[in-house]
Amino acid sequence: MSASEAKLATIRKLLAQAEDAAASPAEAETFTAKAAELMARYGVDRAMLADGDETVDAIADRVIDLDPPYALDKIGLLSGIARALGLQVVQRTGFGARGKELSALLFGYSSDIERTEILFTSLLVQAARGLAAARVPARENKAAYRRAWLAGFSATVHVRLADAEYRARAEATATASTSATGRSAELVLADRQRTVDQRFAEAFPKLRSAPRRVLTGSGHGAGVAAGARADLGGAALGSRRRALGG
Q: What is the pLDDT of residues 98-123, one digit of tens each?
A: 778 999 999 999 999 999 998 888 78
pLDDT at 114: 92
- The span from the CA of 83 to the CA of 202, in Å, is 18
For the cut 80, the answer to whether the pLDDT of residue 61 exceeds it is: yes
Could you state, in order of their start, the residue ranges of all structural domains in the chain? Answer: 3-242
Q: How confident is the model at residue 197 (pLDDT cuts 50, 70, 90)?
A: very high
pLDDT at 150: 92
pLDDT at 216: 61
Range in 82-86, 174-178, 197-201 the model is least confident about: 174-178
- The span from the CA of 161 to the CA of 84, in Å, is 6
CA distances from 147 to 39, 65, 68, 75, 212 (A): 28, 19, 13, 12, 14
Helices assigned H by DSSP within the chain: 3-19, 25-50, 71-84, 110-133, 142-174, 185-203, 220-229
Instruction: Give SS3 for 68.
Output: coil
- The span from the CA of 175 to the CA of 243, in Å, is 40
Range in 111-120, 139-148, 236-245 the model is least confident about: 236-245
For the cut 80, the answer to whether the pLDDT of residue 160 exceeds it is: yes
Q: Is the pTM of this model over 0.85?
A: no
- The span from the CA of 148 to the CA of 143, in Å, is 9
